[in-house]
Amino acid sequence: MMSSSSTDYYMLIASLPFIPRTFEVDQVPISRLRLAERLTLLDEDDQQVVEQVQQFLHWDRQDSERTDADVQREYERLMDTIQNSLVRDIIIHRMDVRTIMSGLRRRRWGLDPPAAVGQYVAHIRKHWQHPDFQLARKQPWIPSVRESLEKHEPLQVERELLRATWNRWTQLADQYYFSFETILLYLARWEIVDRWTRLDPIAGRRRFDTLLQETLSEHARIDN
Amino acid sequence: MNTESFLLLLGWAGVYLPTALGAIGSIVGCARAGQAAVGALLDVETGYGRLVGVSALPSSQTIYGIVVTMQFNRTVAVESAPGLFSLGLLVGLALLSSAMLQGTCAAAAINTTKTKPEVFGLSVAPAAIVEGFAVFAFIFAMIVGGGIPGGPAS
């Protein structure tokens, strides 16, 4: 799988700006375009894995409602095509979050437990009436997300979900240094920062102001 | 090949192993740190010199290896061959691993310094500590090597 020698990732990793310890920042540490440029330093096999991760993360952030059958199909397709254990871990974690969230929402709407997908489907069905599906020990973010859901605070729900995923990627990233996994976890965390900066209205306003100032100063330079 | 020739072969290998293994370690170590330095150049506006300078830290193991080889260099005999091989191999392995891992420490220092230039001195400390162990291995190879029969070639 990893055809590159162990020294190949040093340059790419050192060329990426420091990713902050929290995702609640005003802007991404590196633009999508610049990040894509840097990723061309990887060899073809690694670029394919990176593309799989990016495609999944893109799929995962789509807001459109999907049926259980859609999610099940996508999950099976990914598990059939992806060999890298960390990428599989990333997908399994996000699918678990998706299933638990689907369960919390469905119960609020008086629907049946979700049919897709992952390790917790049967567990959720069994503990359907328990407030946290008896999963709070393994998934400590569930109580706070459930409370935010009940208070109708969608931004807070999204913040809690991103924080849960962020913490997991950060813990994993601490185990790797100058390896391909470091790059994958950088991408996964970059995606969260990007997602947050697009959600957060205050950060959005600041980014707009910064862009406006840059554009105006650029114009002023040209006029002079 | 008879036993005597085999022993002489090991003896000659022992003479050159410190240089060879030290150089392999330096190659890997400098390549790791050097790649990190080059990558960091893409992300910083100043301080290029010290980033590239840190990447050269794992070079010293080759120098230690050369000095040990010069100390071991003699007309290899059956009596001196086992000692030369044992010491040459062990000090070579110590130099090899210290250079490779020092390269990783230097790369980490470069990666940290590009974001926080004020911690440059502290960030290089782990690489310096690794260097210390290479120095221990080098010095004691010289001391213990003094007891190998034959003495250095004139």
| Chain A residues touching residue B104 (CB < 8 angstroms) | 177-178
Residue A22 main-chain phi, psi, to 5 deg: -125, 150
- Interface A-B, measured as beta-carbon pairs within 8 A, has a size of 49
For B12-24, the pLDDT digits (tens) are: 999 999 999 999 9
| Chain B residues touching residue A10 (CB < 8 angstroms) | 32-33, 35-36, 39, 107
User: Hunting for tokens 């976890």 — which residue is that?
Assistant: A185
| Chain A residues touching residue B41 (CB < 8 angstroms) | 15
> In the numeric block, which tokens belong to residue A54?
């990016």
| Chain A residues touching residue B110 (CB < 8 angstroms) | 14
Has residue B33 been placed in a domain?
yes
Residue B94: domain span? 3-145
* Domain assignments of chain A as residue spans, ordered by start: 26-223
Q: What is the 3-state secondary structure (H, E, C) of A26-53?
A: CCCCCCHHHHHHHHCCCCHHHHHHHHHH
Has residue B25 been placed in a domain?
yes
Per-residue pLDDT of chain A (224 residues; tens, 9 = 90+): 444 455 579 999 999 999 888 888 888 999 999 999 999 999 998 998 898 888 888 888 775 567 777 788 888 888 888 888 888 888 888 889 888 998 998 898 888 888 878 889 899 999 999 999 999 998 999 999 999 988 888 888 888 989 999 999 999 998 888 999 999 999 999 999 998 888 766 666 665 676 667 667 656 655 55
- Whether residue A117 has a cis bond before it, omega within 30° of 0: yes
User: Hunting for tokens 């935010």 — which residue is that?
Assistant: A148
The ipTM is: 0.80
Say how many residues make up chain A: 224
The set of residues, in sequence order, having a beta carbon less than 8 Å from that of A159 and lying 6+ positions away, is A24, A196
Q: Which of B31, B22, B9, B41 is nearest to B94 (CA)?
A: B22
Distance from CA of B36 to the nearest CA of A (A): 4
| Rounded (5°) CA angle A81-A82-A87 | 155
Question: CATH number for the domain including B122?
Answer: 1.20.120.610
Has residue B90 been placed in a domain?
yes
CA separation for the pair B144, B122 (Å, rounded): 34
Query: Under a CB-based contact definition with an 8 Å cutoff, are residues B6 and B80 in contact?
Result: no
The 10 Å Cβ neighbour count of residue A149 is: 18
CA separation for the pair A199, A212 (Å, rounded): 19
- Measured in whole angstroms, the distance separating CA A70 from the mean position of its chain's CA atoms is 19
Distance from CA of B81 to the nearest CA of A (A): 36
Q: Which of B122, B136, B119, B126 is nearest to B103 (CA)?
A: B126
Number of domains comprising chain B = 1
Per-residue pLDDT of chain B (154 residues; tens, 9 = 90+): 788 999 999 999 999 999 999 999 999 999 999 999 999 998 888 878 888 999 999 999 999 999 999 999 999 999 999 999 999 999 999 999 999 999 999 999 999 998 888 999 999 999 999 999 999 999 999 999 999 988 765 4
Distance from CA of A38 to the nearest CA of B (A): 9
Q: What is the 3-state secondary structure (H, E, C) of B37-96?
A: HHHHHCCCCCCHHHHHHHCCHHHHHHHHHHHHHHHHCCCCCCCCHHHHHHHHHHHHHHHH
Has residue B26 been placed in a domain?
yes
